[in-house]
């Protein structure tokens, strides 16, 4: 899977800067004219606002890199085209057509024409928005716009990141990235039977069940130290099978998923008023994380704000 880091994209030669401003109204007007019918506001207590938007294109796909600081409430009605949102840093808690979803780094969110999105962001958010022509979204809508788990969803996320890479650096063969995204969109929009196409060692249903069991086991053991070998042994499968299944379903290794689960638990603890008596270091330990500066830095990159800021939120 292609992994993108925010900072190189802010300097990539294939993208042109269309906005870099501390003026909230400028950002609001540009986003409203690009992504859909859009309204937003700064939340009380937000840090000073700053936004940067860079733009590029590959074939019929327009790519926007959005980087901003400031906790926002967003409301958008999607029209004319779809938008594939690929967060690179920070979280957006979205309600899409009334269903609450959390989009975090490593996931994706595909809004189709007619979708209504309402959400709030953490303090800092960086991500890629790819404008999808409506012609590529003609089929029936999948059950959820959130892209997180499953071979076809991971394939669509990877194709979107590959297209963003092509737009940013304009390498030879960039058009192939657009073709890969079109194919991933077509497969994603097909029935669940398509999930069984091209399967390797595990059938889709067995692989999904294994990953679910792995995540449940890790949730129960987060405070403990364990290795991928410990996890494989507990599930009665080989390390190779476990790693393959997690990569296909989650787009990451088992231990990377364990790290993600620990960061999620830390966020829940920081937001829980009943945990105010405990220090942030204590809560890190209760989430199975080392109480150190490196953990705080990992949390800031994942969440888009410091642990202290989440607790104050």
Q: Give the pLDDT of the chain (313 residues) as one tens digit per residue.
A: 456 766 677 788 999 999 999 999 999 888 888 877 788 999 998 999 999 999 999 999 999 999 999 999 999 899 889 999 999 999 999 999 999 999 999 999 999 999 999 999 999 999 999 999 999 998 777 778 999 988 889 999 999 999 999 999 988 888 999 999 999 999 887 754 444 455 444 467 889 899 999 999 999 999 999 999 999 999 999 999 999 999 989 999 999 999 999 999 999 999 999 999 999 999 999 999 999 999 999 999 999 999 999 998 7
- In order of 42, 64, 260, 284, the CA distances from 23 in angstroms are 12, 19, 34, 36
Q: Return the CA Rg of the chain.
A: 20
Distance CA 120, CA 22 (A): 19
What is the greatest pairwise CA distance in the chain?
A: 57
User: 99-103 and 92-96: which strand pairing?
Assistant: antiparallel
Q: What are phi and psi of 129, to 5 degrees?
A: -110, 125
Q: Whole-model pTM?
A: 0.91
Q: What is the pLDDT of residue 238?
A: 96
Residues 6+ apart with CB under 8 A from 138: 189
* pLDDT single digits (tens) 20-59: 999 999 998 888 888 777 889 999 989 999 999 999 999 9
Which residue in this structure is represented by tokens 């969803």? 153
Across 189-212, b (16+ Cβ under 10 Å) vs e yields beeeeebeeeeeebebeebbebbe
Arch. (CATH architecture) of 6-196: Sandwich (2.60)
């Amino acid at each position: 899977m292609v992994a993108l880091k925010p900072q190189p994209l802010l300097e990539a030669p294939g993208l042109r800067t269309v906005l870099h401003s501390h003026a909230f109204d400028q950002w609001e007007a540009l986003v409203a004219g690009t992504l859909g019918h859009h309204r937003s506001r700064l939340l009380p207590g937000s840090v000073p606002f700053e936004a940067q938007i860079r733009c590029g294109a590959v074939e019929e796909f327009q790519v926007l890199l959005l980087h901003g600081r400031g906790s926002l409430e967003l409301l958008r009605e999607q029209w004319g085209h779809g938008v594939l949102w690929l967060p690179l840093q920070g979280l957006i808690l979205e309600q899409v057509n009334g269903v609450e979803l959390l989009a975090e780094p490593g996931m994706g969110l595909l809004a189709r024409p007619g979708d209504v999105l309402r959400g709030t962001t953490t303090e800092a958010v960086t991500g890629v928005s790819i404008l999808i022509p409506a012609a590529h979204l003609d089929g029936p809508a999948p059950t959820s716009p959130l892209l997180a788990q499953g071979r076809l969803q991971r394939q669509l996320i990877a194709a979107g990141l590959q297209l963003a890479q092509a737009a940013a650096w304009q390498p030879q063969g960039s058009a192939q990235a657009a073709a890969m995204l079109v194919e991933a969109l077509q497969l994603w929009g097909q029935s669940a039977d398509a999930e069984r196409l091209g399967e390797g060692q595990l059938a889709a249903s067995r692989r999904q069940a294994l990953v679910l069991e792995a995540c449940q086991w890790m949730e129960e053991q987060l405070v403990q130290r364990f290795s991928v070998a410990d996890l494989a042994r507990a599930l009665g499968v080989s390390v190779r099978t476990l790693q393959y299944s997690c990569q296909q379903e989650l787009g990451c290794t088992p231990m990377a998923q364990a790290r993600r689960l620990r960061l999620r638990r830390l966020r829940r603890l920081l937001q829980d008023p009943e945990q105010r008596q405990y220090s942030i270091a204590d809560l890190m330990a209760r989430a199975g994380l080392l109480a150190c500066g490196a953990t705080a830095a990992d949390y800031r990159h994942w969440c888009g704000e410091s642990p202290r800021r989440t607790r104050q939120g």
